[in-house]
Amino acid sequence: MAAALQPSSAAAESAYEFINDGTRYTFVFRFTVAATPDEALDLLYGFEHLKRFSRRASDVALLDEGDGWQTVRFTYSTWLWSMHTTFRRELDRPNRRVVFHMIEADRSGLPVPLPTASSGEYRVEPVPDGVRVVYRQSADNRDSFMLGAWIALARSEAVLFSRDLEAYVRSQFD
């Protein structure tokens, strides 16, 4: 099942796509901004910026970093459950992208489906008068009686994250 959404508050070129296939989903979001590829990559990779456009997370912590890579833990908490996901993020400047993959996940509280894998990228594509930012993330989840509700929540959170991402990036360049 695929759904394309057009947010009313975003610029006309913004587009969302959420594809659900059983226990796996993929979310894709695109928007164009007036920036150079290097400026956009620096913003998308910089941890100080990641914390600002990852507002949906309760906490974002930089665990380790090196030349062109970071290990980052995201915490999502409600009064019913808490989940930590740890990702390795890598700057791939020659291919104009920041790639990420989950290296660990754990939870407490309600037995919400725990992701078994998650990966994606922020890709920057030069266009006239700027760059197109393409965010893509796929996740695999354990099957459980809560999977349908979990996928619906994932879709909603992905759209809200993308709105925060676009608003933050636009605030830095437009």
Does the pTM surpass 0.75? The reply is yes
Q: How far is Cα 174 from Cα 56, in angstroms, rounded to an integer?
A: 23
| pLDDT by residue, tens only, the chain of 174 residues | 334 433 333 344 568 899 988 889 999 999 999 999 999 999 999 999 998 999 888 899 999 999 999 999 999 888 887 889 999 999 999 999 999 999 999 988 877 777 889 999 999 999 999 999 999 999 998 877 778 888 888 888 899 999 999 999 999 997
Show the DSSP H helices in 27-142 as ranges: 37-45, 47-53
**CATH number for the domain that contains residue 14:** 3.30.530.20
Neighbours of 145 (CB within 10 A): 8
Residue environment code for 47-80, b if the CB has 16+ CB neighbours within 10 A, otherwise e? eebbebbbebbeebeeeeeeeeebbbbbebeeee
Range of the domain at 93: 2-173
